[in-house]
Amino acid sequence: MNKTLLIIKREYLSRVKKKSFIIMTILGPLLMAATIILPAFLADWSEATKKRVAVLDETGWFHEKFKDQDNITFYYIYDDLETSKENAIHEKGDLLLYIPRTQLNIPVNAQLYSTIQPGLNVTTYIRTVMKKEIENRKLLASGIDPEVIKSAKTNINLTTYRIEEGGVEKKSNTEVEVGLSIFAGIMIYFFIFMFGAQVLKGVMEEKSSRIVEVIISSVKPFQLMMGKIVGIALVGLTQFFLWIVLTALFLGIFQSGLFGGSIPENLAQWDQSGQVIEQSIQTENIGLDKLELVKEIIDGINFRVMIFSFIFYFLGGFLLYASLFAAIGGAVDQDADTQQFMLPVSIPLIFSVMMTGVIINQPDSSLSMWLSFIPFTSPVTMMMRIPFGVPLWQIWTSAVLLILGFIATTWLAAKIYRTGILMYGKKVSYAEIWKWLKNK
């Protein structure tokens, strides 16, 4: 068997069999599935406890204005404050909303008493009702019919279409694209760093345990370095695929199993909840069902392009950075020395994540374009641009430059690595590394 393959196999298997890998592989998708499912579940669970609110309205303006909600019931009392507190809160365990009469014409103060946290849904509802009622009264006082205002309100439903090459029109939604863009960019950054660090650690382990000399008496240092890098890249890809598959699987299990049949309903509710407040006003005007729209947009995302480009930019970016990390691991003797070399190497990667805002605002600007050409920043920035659509020639340019980039860094790194792994007890400096590079 080819020796490089043997090394790749060892590097791959020894990591995939580790407990930490297995835990990460299961925990990652669980967390992802949970972040999707849990809000719906939690909302459902917290609202299950019904709250009752006693309303002591001294102004009399809000009589019967508070309507019973799913989990909130209102009733009206007409005692004085102290008696009401005694009755409602201490005896019945309810909440007490006190709207005092004020000197002003319009009451703007109210107090909510309770022994428990009232919860956001209660306070939001009360505030909304009071605001609406007072606004209406103000309008009436100035002689304007609230109905006129209501009918004058207009919502613009702007659907954006992106015309693709070949003239295909595609419904696009910037919000979804922004989300996808940030997610993809951060994922690439996270993957490159996480697995790059493994390369660094692996090389340092070989050096400090002194097995490296035994191995390079059988294979070339370059084979050992590349075997390690490729092996770890495969671990990264394995993790990526398992995460996609398992997330889908967990979502399925959560939906069908854990929550019984009730969940699809709840999920649907939650899907809307992000836009719940806006929507309550807007739905009348928008002809299109929001859920339908989201679905259409998700269908519009080209998952094949996303996954393919993620794999390409992960591999390209990883090979580029991992070879540099391998060189650092080979050059240094102690953990503490890695810092001074790690920082300059990671700066472009961190910088590209810091550029997120700029790229999302203007994915087609020349700054975004150049960042997605430079091999050190292109993995993260190009992944951020791809959801918005990138001209094909730019993708090709970026891809070719990235390939050239990693060939160059690998070549440089191999020189540093080759010399460094046999150097012990010497604190390396940049001047020293420069000397190694000049060695033939």
232 C-beta neighbours (distance < 10 Å), count: 26
Smallest gap from Cβ 1 to other proteins, in A, equals 7
Q: How far apart are CA 199 and CA 193, in angstroms?
A: 10
CB nearer to other proteins: pick between 97 and 230: 230
Taking CB under 8 A as the criterion, the residue among 168, 210, 304, 392 binding other proteins is 210
Contact assessment for residue 359 and residue 415, using Cβ atoms and an 8 Å cutoff: no
Smallest gap from Cβ 205 to other proteins, in A, equals 8
Smallest gap from Cβ 233 to other proteins, in A, equals 20
SS3 54: strand
Placement of tokens 């579940």 in the chain: 41
Q: CA end-to-end span of the chain, whole Å?
A: 30
209 contributes a contact to other proteins by CB under 8 A: yes
Q: How far apart are CA 233 and CA 149, in angstroms?
A: 61
Span from 209-217, 301-309, 328-336, 380-388 in contact with other proteins (CB under 8 A):
209-217
CB nearer to other proteins: pick between 63 and 220: 220
371's CB contacts (< 8 A; 6+ apart) are: 352, 355, 359, 377, 378, 381
CB nearer to other proteins: pick between 153 and 435: 435
CB nearer to other proteins: pick between 210 and 304: 210
* Helix count and strand count (H, E) for the chain: 18, 6
x-or-dash string of contact with other proteins, 214-253, rule CB under 8 A: xxxxxxx---------------------------------
x-or-dash string of contact with other proteins, 43-82, rule CB under 8 A: ----------------------------------------
CB nearer to other proteins: pick between 3 and 52: 3
Span from 79-87, 207-215, 315-323, 326-334 in contact with other proteins (CB under 8 A):
207-215
431 contributes a contact to other proteins by CB under 8 A: no
SS3 355: coil
Contact assessment for residue 4 and residue 223, using Cβ atoms and an 8 Å cutoff: yes
CB nearer to other proteins: pick between 356 and 419: 419
> Which residues within the stretch 340-399 sit at the binding site for other proteins (CB under 8 A)?
none
CB nearer to other proteins: pick between 151 and 209: 209
437 contributes a contact to other proteins by CB under 8 A: no
Integer CA distances (angstroms), 323 to 60, 222, 229, 317, in order: 75, 10, 7, 10
Taking CB under 8 A as the criterion, the residue among 68, 147, 213, 364 binding other proteins is 213
Contact assessment for residue 406 and residue 375, using Cβ atoms and an 8 Å cutoff: yes
Smallest gap from Cβ 212 to other proteins, in A, equals 8
CB nearer to other proteins: pick between 164 and 205: 205
Q: Structure tokens of 240?
A: 């990526």
Closest of 243, 212, 241 to residue 228, by C-alpha:
212
Smallest gap from Cβ 408 to other proteins, in A, equals 22
Q: How many residues does the chain have?
A: 440
CB nearer to other proteins: pick between 7 and 324: 7
CA atoms within 13 A on the CB side of 421: 28
Q: Structure tokens of 215?
A: 């191995």
Compute φ and ψ for 219, nearest 5 degrees. -130, 165
Smallest gap from Cβ 375 to other proteins, in A, equals 30
* Residue ranges binding other proteins (CB under 8 A): 1, 3, 6-7, 10, 14, 205-206, 209-211, 213-220, 422, 424, 435
